[in-house]
């Protein structure tokens, strides 16, 4: 309807004022609830273009023209410079009739090249934590939203499996583990390796304190602590492909990967391809040589390679150290080109925290200067940090909230609250267990994804699991309620061949639900344009809230008018299907009964 209305308004400007205004340049919004109407056009911006100085007169003329051209638009009203269009009941009925039993809101497949979305990017020295959960949920959801917009999407993960931080865990395991393994300890592999990352930090701090007590300056002690020097020596051996170090590295990374896979599986995220830093960190060296030959980069007297970005408002950036070793920027340049080649992609979306804003500004600019035209479509989805009620998390000190522990805690909380509300009556033990998991993960995912990605957020596990308010379980329960109505209605009405063909009138609550359903396609498009799952999450809440208001006030199965009963059943089915679709885009399962 929006596109039809935009086309008619464009036509009106042309016919009445001889002014060419493209339909897609005409912005429509939902009419405010205190006014009569469905879509609103603000006419103030068009007064100068049309020469009509009186915005009310302009709105009146446009409104009369549009209503005269379409039976679906049955009226209009003007409030100052706001033109409110009223859509006919028959249009809403036709919309409901055509869409109540199909997947609604998805766009047709586009011919554009593949979009690559990178997310997760964990280090193999510790398990995934709450911060990683936000990263993974954002990345997965954004990829699914882009798919819903008709794009071909590839999800990728770059695992940071090399470097000094990895060697710290390895060295601590050698020194303190007595050969402990996941099998002997009963610990998940990523948790075990993370344990020794913490052990390294404890030993490192103890050595620093000992050196300071001997009169050595703290800054010097931090650089010369024996255990740090050992870790640096181990990294050098790794780079020289020392067999013993490489074998230990492969073993411990293997433990971590098994642990990661279990966490990803429970969290419900996946990848089309996994890249490893150990395999990609040298890829950018050829690009650096190319940049030197083009004069984009320059070499200093010590042999290090740099690019001067001061004219672009940034600074000088190191690309190769004086010993010829690469830095993160070098690796990311090479990896970006590899992904473009692997998937013939022209858009790369990086889901990385906002502490890396500068890094990605530099990455995009350097690729542009190297002549990579596709780099104009490199996008950094910068998201804020997740904090807990008791403060920030620190991996080295072991104060992070592990993703696995958090999910188990959420499941226990969901179990307790579900049993208190009596929502598992008639469930088998296995069915109840599945419901607890669905509610727990729904609560976790929804609480995180409903927040605009750019904002920092405070995660409160107990607040997230509530069957009332703006929560995942509230929306899940609404879906289950709608499914219950549909199950009961199927006993007397076949849901497969309902055809709504009557002169419809809708009460205010019905119309609010229909209009909310109608807006879903636009919400999906906007979420894709802005890379914001929060738009989908808050839409799902609005739909659930509006459906519950309709359900409380309006009889469905007890309605005696058969046409109204069928219409309300269709409205219920359409709502259930759309909630399910919206929640899928957030990675959330919705139960059919509770």
Each residue's pLDDT, cut to its tens digit, for the chain (594 residues) gives: 888 999 999 999 999 999 899 998 899 999 998 899 999 999 998 998 898 889 999 999 999 999 999 989 999 999 988 999 999 988 999 898 888 877 888 988 988 889 999 999 999 999 998 889 999 999 999 999 999 999 999 999 999 998 899 999 999 999 999 999 999 999 999 999 999 999 999 999 999 999 999 999 999 999 999 999 999 999 999 989 999 999 999 999 999 999 999 999 999 999 999 999 998 888 888 899 999 999 999 999 999 999 999 999 999 999 998 888 788 899 899 999 999 999 999 899 999 999 999 999 999 999 999 999 999 999 999 999 888 776 544 444 445 678 998 899 889 988 888 888 777 778 888 999 999 999 999 999 999 999 999 999 888 877 888 778 899 999 999 999 999 999 998 877 776 666 677 777 889 899 999 999 999 999 999 999 999 999 999 999 999 999 999 999 999 999 888 888 889 999 999 999 999 999 999 999 999 998
Phi, psi dihedral angles at 178 (to 5 degrees): 55, 35
**With contact defined as beta carbons under 8 Å apart, do 87 and 43 qualify?**
no
**3-state SS class at 154:** strand
CA distance 333 to 24: 37
pTM of the model: 0.90
Residue 142 region by backbone torsions, left for phi larger than 0, else alpha for psi between -120 and 50, else beta: alpha
Q: Which domains does the chain have, with CATH numbers?
A: 2-87 (3.30.1360.70), 163-258 (no CATH), 403-584 (1.10.730.10)
Strand partners, 155: 117
Q: How far apart are the first and last CA of the chain?
A: 36
CA distance 15 to 8: 10
Quick one: which of 593, 573, 443 has its CA closest to 517?
573
DSSP character at residue 391: B
Phi, psi dihedral angles at 532 (to 5 degrees): -125, 95
Quick one: which of 39, 42, 23 has its CA closest to 31?
39
Structure confidence at residue 495 (pLDDT): 67
The separation between CA 576 and the C-alpha centre of its own chain, rounded to angstroms, equals: 22
CA distance 4 to 24: 11
């Amino acid at each position: 309807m929006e596109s039809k209305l935009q086309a008619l308004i464009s036509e009106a400007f042309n016919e009445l004022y001889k002014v060419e205004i493209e339909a897609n340049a005409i912005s429509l919004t939902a009419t405010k609830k205190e006014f009569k109407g469905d879509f609103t056009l603000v006419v103030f911006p068009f007064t100068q273009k049309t020469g009509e100085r009186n915005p009310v007169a302009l709105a009146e003329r446009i409104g009369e023209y549009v209503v005269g051209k379409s039976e679906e638009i049955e009226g209009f009203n003007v409030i100052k410079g706001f033109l409110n269009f009223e859509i006919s009941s028959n249009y809403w009925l036709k919309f409901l009739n055509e869409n109540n039993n199909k997947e609604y809101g998805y766009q047709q497949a586009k011919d554009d090249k593949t979009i690559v979305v990178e997310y997760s990017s964990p280090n193999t020295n510790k398990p995934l934590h709450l911060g990683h959960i936000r990263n993974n949920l954002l990345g997965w959801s954004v990829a699914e939203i882009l798919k819903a917009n008709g794009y071909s999407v590839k999800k990728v993960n770059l695992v940071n499996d090399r470097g000094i931080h990895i060697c710290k865990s390895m060295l601590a395991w050698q020194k303190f583990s007595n050969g402990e393994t996941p099998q002997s300890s009963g610990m998940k592999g990523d948790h075990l390796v993370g344990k020794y990352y913490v052990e390294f930090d404890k030993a490192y701090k103890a050595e620093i304190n000992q050196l300071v007590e001997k009169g050595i300056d703290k800054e010097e002690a931090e650089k010369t602590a024996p255990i740090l020097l050992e870790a640096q020596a181990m990294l050098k051996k790794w780079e020289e492909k020392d067999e013993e170090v490489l074998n230990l590295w492969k073993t411990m990374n293997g433990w971590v990967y098994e642990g990661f896979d279990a966490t990803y599986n429970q969290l419900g995220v996946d990848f089309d391809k996994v890249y490893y830093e150990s395999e990609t960190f040298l890829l950018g060296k050829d690009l650096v040589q190319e940049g030197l030959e083009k004069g984009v980069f320059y070499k200093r007297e010590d042999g290090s390679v740099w690019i001067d970005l001061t004219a672009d408002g940034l600074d000088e950036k190191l690309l190769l150290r004086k010993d010829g070793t690469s830095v993160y920027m070098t690796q990311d340049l090479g990896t970006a080109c590899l992904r473009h080649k692997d998937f013939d992609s022209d858009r790369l979306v990086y889901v990385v925290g906002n502490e890396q804003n500068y890094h990605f500004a530099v990455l995009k600019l350097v690729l542009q200067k190297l002549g990579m035209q596709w780099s104009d479509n490199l996008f950094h989805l910068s998201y804020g940090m997740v904090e807990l009620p008791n403060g920030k998390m620190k991996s080295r000190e072991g104060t992070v909230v592990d993703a696995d522990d958090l999910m188990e805690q959420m499941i226990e909380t969901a179990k307790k609250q579900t049993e208190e509300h009596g929502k598992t009556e008639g469930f088998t033990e296995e069915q109840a267990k599945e419901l607890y998991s669905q509610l727990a993960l729904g609560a976790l995912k929804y609480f995180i994804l409903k927040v605009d990605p750019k904002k920092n957020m405070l995660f409160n596990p107990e607040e997230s699991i509530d069957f009332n308010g703006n929560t995942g379980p509230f929306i899940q329960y609404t879906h289950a309620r709608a499914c219950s109505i549909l199950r009961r209605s199927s006993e007397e009405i076949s849901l497969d061949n309902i055809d709504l063909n009557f002169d419809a009138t809708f009460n205010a609550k019905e119309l609010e639900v229909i209009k909310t359903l109608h807006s879903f396609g636009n919400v999906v498009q906007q979420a894709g344009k802005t890379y914001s799952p929060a738009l989908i999450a808050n839409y799902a809440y609005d739909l659930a809230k509006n459906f519950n208001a309709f359900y409380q006030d309006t009889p469905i199965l007890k309605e005696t008018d058969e046409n109204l009963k069928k219409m309300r059943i269709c409205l219920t089915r359409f709502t259930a299907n759309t909630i399910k679709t919206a929640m899928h885009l957030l990675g959330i399962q919705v139960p059919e009964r509770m």
